[in-house]
Chain A
């Protein structure tokens, strides 16, 4: 049994190890290890396309995670006071945002935004006129909106779980002692849900940073890091992709383990 468990962990982590190992390959080909070198890290970090993609990914992940965390936390708090059919509608929508596969979200967002922009752009041109009227198009904005949809739903789920596990007697005590609702919110509710909010933010950031399939449809002319990696893989396997992959994996692993530790610090 122990042997079985060990082999599953090996199965889970050997491929990650292989990415890291071959990123230090001196040779040009990712398939054969010919010596130790860190040159591919240097190459990756000096590649202007990689840096541009990294900047886009980082900006989109940060913006979408911040917006998703704020909107999601506010919604989770508000949903506590809602019962009946309204609650059912919101539960269904949140559930759908989490469960509908990324590819469908990507497609649906693509055709909707292209159609909406196609209708609005002539209007904008008529209103503003001139040589270069403002134009709406796919890009960072649509990436942020599409990533934020899924991650906001995720934040709602995580924060709500925390709110439900909260000790309500504290709020009642505060009310009995005459604290106004706003004050008991800031002094009692907020500190208690803070770890869930932070963990939600970290997960939202990681999701957006790692997402390929939604971005593939709605990125327009922007290139995120996963889109760059995907198109590089099509051109062949190189140690440079391994170096980029190893760095992305390392960053996600740190963020995720942090999120997990924050979420369940005192179990038992």
Chain B
């Protein structure tokens, strides 16, 4: 078989799949976002910007997402960095791989079941009961922004740890030794060498978590109890309950646009940070 023919044949199924299940649907979303709502829901062809002008009708969802997604990202980062640092630099090399796998594996298991676990922990008979028995009052934890943040950190911590770990592991150990030999205290070595060299990992992890949080639906639904809703919850409502497709499409298109802007800023920052490779890894 000629190489060119082989390449074409090998690529054909993947190309068809990407075109029909990714490119076409995304184009349809953009097209629908300029349309009008039919009498019984659905879509009527038109060209109007009303759906975009109307975005503020879902302002609460946008506001919650804009506030809680960055906050959740920062919390993930603050908790993940020391862990990644320990795994990459301090931990016994024999245990390193298994410890890292133990962090990553939960990310790939059902987020639905993992969030469900927190209903039991934060719900009335879980932690609040324990706190009440200690005589510290009975706080309400479930269905609050706090519960949503806990769920976010729990769900996305692994995704933050991994890229930071990769960046830290790549650091040339001789730099750290040289710094210590020249008499700089550990905190200074950290601030002047380790931290700057791991910023690429920090940026990658933050971007991945932030982007996924922007489209989050399950965590606010399960742990926010319909009181703390994100853009994702608004989308489910618009498409499955009120069936206002054109408006929903405008919300979805706006969401993707915000994400694209985030990724662009990230790529620019990465170029400036490392001047080199940008390996984004999901594993």
Contact = CB atoms under 8 A, between A and B. Distances in A.
Majority SS at the chain A contact face: helix
Interface in A107-163: 107-112, 115, 145-146, 148-149, 152, 154, 156-158
A37 interface: no
Contacts, number: 225
Interface residues of A, number: 88
Given A212-B218, A256-B108, A108 B29 contact: yes
Contacts of A263: 283
A229 B112 contact: yes
B30 to A, nearest CB: 10
A151 B259 CA distance: 21
B282 to A, nearest CB: 6
B113 A19 contact: yes
Interface in A2-28: 2, 4-5, 8-9, 11-16, 18-19, 22
Nearest to A82: B7
A252 B108 contact: yes
Range of interface residues on chain B? 35 or more
Contacts of A112: 24-25, 28
A203 B256 CA distance: 25
A235 interface: no
Given A19-B116, A77-B10, A156-B14, A249 B109 contact: yes
Nearest to B102: A9
B237 to A, nearest CB: 12
Interface stretch (B52-60, B78-86, B133-141, B173-181): B78-86
A104 B14 contact: no
Interface string A217-261: 100000000100110010001000100010011001100110011
B28 A249 contact: no
A93 B11 CA distance: 13
A16 B124 CA distance: 19
Contacts of A241: 116
Interface string B92-123: 01000100011111101111111011111101
B108 A103 contact: no
A26 to B, nearest CB: 16
Contacts of B25: 105, 108-109, 111-112
Interface stretch (B187-195, B196-204, B247-255, B268-276): B247-255
B32 interface: yes
Given A216-B240, A253-B109, A260-B104, 12 more contacts: A12-B157, A14-B121, A19-B120, A31-B124, A71-B17, A81-B7, A94-B18, A104-B215, A111-B249, A112-B28, A158-B283, A257-B105
Interface of B: 1, 3, 6-8, 10-11, 13-15, 17-18, 20-26, 28-29, 32, 43, 79, 82-83, 86-87, 90-91, 93, 97, 101-106, 108-114, 116-121, 123-126, 154, 157-158, 211-212, 214-215, 217-218, 222, 232, 235-236, 239-240, 245, 248-249, 252, 255-256, 259, 263, 280, 282-283
